[in-house]
Amino acid sequence: MTLKREMVSSGHWLFRYRGSFPVLFVVLLLVAVFTGSREVSHPAGITAWEAFCLLIAISGLVVRGVTLGFVSPGTSGRNTTAQRADELNTTGIYSMVRHPLYLANWLCWLGVLLVPGIWWLPLTVTLGFWLYYERIMMAEEDFLQGKFGEPYLEWAGRTPPFLPRFSSWKPSSRRFSLKFVLKREYASWLGVITSFVLLELVLHWASEEGGMPGRFWLILEGVALVFYLIMRILRTRTRLLHQSDR
């Protein structure tokens, strides 16, 4: 087996368990918090830094929303057993980058990992992220090439895999679906906000001062939780978020 085929084969295996990978990041994050020292130590600096980190994570959520709001049915799903793509997405955000959802996930994790101000933590996790997801991306591209052939190769030849090329933007051929984004992403917003709040709690425990996260974080968590519950009810008890073509 060639090295490329071996990486593709391992990518298919990793694809099934890609949702479990963040657990490794959590372990490394806890080790860093309890053994490292924060580069940002002034209270005002922490507030500004944490706001910056939150904006990075939110930018990841926005990228996820823009991606999913325009995708064709049967693509960009959360399936874990096998690759699936009923149509090749080449417009909208896919005209700038081939793997926007993985870029979005990296931004979300990067925002959280930057909070402690420990320089080696985001660098180490970014390296691990790339080594892990590079194989998954190769497996996905092998599947797409086999299914779509030359049209895929033409699109892949002009579109970067991970870092967007904004000059390549082409408007999406589909209408943006806010309903689909709300139905798919309400849990992601709660997950990111909760990650920040729990990290704030851990940072307080690890510090000499102790205490609880600030009022801002507690209010933000409350808003995120209420939003999650409302969206959950709308999705499971009503048809307000239903779309026949999604």
Alpha helices, H only, 36-95: 43-70
pLDDT at 209: 65
H, E, C per residue of 163-224: CCCHHHCECCCCCCCHHHHHHHHHHHHHHHHHHHHHHHHHHHHHCCCCCCCCHHHHHHHHHH
Q: Which residue would you say has higher pLDDT here, 22 or 170? A: 170
pLDDT at 24: 79
Lowest-confidence pick of 13-22, 151-160, 177-186: 13-22
Instruction: Tell me what the mean pLDDT of segment 119-138 comes to.
Output: 90
**Domain membership flag for residue 57:** yes
Cα–Cα distance measured from residue 116 to residue 113, given in angstroms and rounded to the nearest whole number: 7
Domain carrying residue 45:
3-177
Over the Cα atoms of the chain, what is R_g? Answer: 20
**Domain membership flag for residue 99:** yes
**Mean pLDDT score across all residues of the chain:** 86
Lowest-confidence pick of 16-25, 77-86, 95-104, 217-226: 77-86
Cα–Cα distance measured from residue 103 to residue 87, given in angstroms and rounded to the nearest whole number: 21
**Domain membership flag for residue 171:** yes
For residue 246, pLDDT over 70 is answered with no
Q: What is the torsional sign of CA 190, 202, 118, 214?
A: positive
* Predicted TM-score of the model (pTM): 0.88
pLDDT at 242: 84
**Domain membership flag for residue 218:** no
CATH of residue 112's domain is 1.20.120
Task: Please give the tally of structural domains in the chain.
Answer: 1
Q: What percent of the chain has pLDDT over 90?
A: 52
Answer for the pair 40, 53: CB distance below 8 angstroms, yes or no. Answer: no
